[in-house]
Amino acid sequence: MSQHVVNVLLSGVFHASILFLVAAGLQVIFGVQKIFNLACGSFYALGAYVGVSAVGWYTAAGGPPALFIVPLALAGLAVGAVGLVVERGLLSFVYERDETFQLLLTFAVVLMMEDAIRLTWGTAPRSTAGLYLVYGQTHLLGATVPVYNLIVIAASLAIAVAIGWLLTRTTFGRIVRATADNREMAAALGVDLRRVYAKVFTLGTALGTLGGALVIPATAAMSEMGIELIVEAFAVVVIGGLGSMRGAFVGALVVGILRSIAISTYPELEMLLIYLIVITVLVLRPRGLFGGAAV
């Protein structure tokens, strides 16, 4: 029994770890720029594909398998720079427009990214072969747990702590929070909104691409993988509260663990259960568990 509980909880937390990174990217961008970035799932997929390629080059160059996570994470972070291109090249032109235009633009990015991925990596699923098992397995209360899953969970936690530190303990964080709170006032006090927006969007993108890169050894990259995750990320932000990082953290845990419990008990209810929670939150606490802005 305890073995089953460990399996269910750990698989839920593993799922939550990835979900958190994508949802956190969504949150940080919405919190500051008030843009609901539909493309966050595409950035996740892009990170996954770039991760596969980076690990492929690393392996071909004879790098020790045990260190593959280094080029993987670096590639995931580096490709976050695409966020800067999207923000400066596209979004910066629609900040003054209606929110619907911004939403449509990020949706256009979703479609363009899917085609770009297909053109670059082809249509077949891509994976890092057996590297997932390089770190072996450990045993916890009778359950076999892949060590890599624990690494992903730890990495996600570390990133959550780092973001918390960045937003609350640094000058950049204070500026970001001030901008999120009142952008006109921040601008009046001398904050260069252009720079803040560019940095925040790149940060949000990098969280998604890093999430995609980190998950890839455990799965396979498919061009539509982002669309599947974005639906769950929406549930996370509604439960946690739009724009709240703490909300992303708790929301991801709620969705990840509930999904896992549902699959183990009443698999037919997997989505129903998550959306019941979403509806309950919307009815009883429309701003979400930690939300500042009305949803």
Q: Where do contacts with other proteins occur on this chain (CB under 8 A)? A: 4, 7-8, 10-12, 14-15, 18, 110-111, 114, 118, 122-125, 127, 129-130, 132-133, 137, 143-146, 148-149, 215, 218-225, 227-229, 259-260, 263-264, 267, 270
- CA 245 – CA 103 distance, rounded (Å): 21
Least distance between other proteins and beta carbon 125 (Å): 3
Q: Where are the beta strands (DSSP E) in 87-235?
A: 137-140, 143-146
Distance of CA 90 to the CA centre of its chain: 21
CB-nearer residue toward other proteins: 84 or 270 = 270
51 φ/ψ angles, rounded to the nearest 5 degrees:
-60, -45
With the CA atoms of 46, 26, 200 and 293 taken in that order, what torsion angle do they form, in degrees rounded to the nearest 10?
Answer: 170
CB-nearer residue toward other proteins: 187 or 220 = 220
CB-nearer residue toward other proteins: 183 or 259 = 259
Least distance between other proteins and beta carbon 14 (Å): 6
CB-nearer residue toward other proteins: 8 or 160 = 8
Least distance between other proteins and beta carbon 10 (Å): 8
Q: At what angle do helices 147-169 and 171-181 cross, to 10 degrees?
A: 80
- CA 148 – CA 121 distance, rounded (Å): 25
Least distance between other proteins and beta carbon 43 (Å): 15
What are the beta bridge partners of residue 144? 139
CB-nearer residue toward other proteins: 140 or 166 = 140
- CA 176 – CA 229 distance, rounded (Å): 27
Within 10 angstroms of residue 144's Cβ, the number of other Cβ atoms is 11
Least distance between other proteins and beta carbon 82 (Å): 20
Least distance between other proteins and beta carbon 220 (Å): 5
Least distance between other proteins and beta carbon 41 (Å): 11
Within 10 angstroms of residue 16's Cβ, the number of other Cβ atoms is 27
Within 10 angstroms of residue 135's Cβ, the number of other Cβ atoms is 18
CB-nearer residue toward other proteins: 192 or 228 = 228
For residue 289, the SS3 value is coil
CB-nearer residue toward other proteins: 100 or 123 = 123
Contact 166, 172 (CB under 8 A): yes
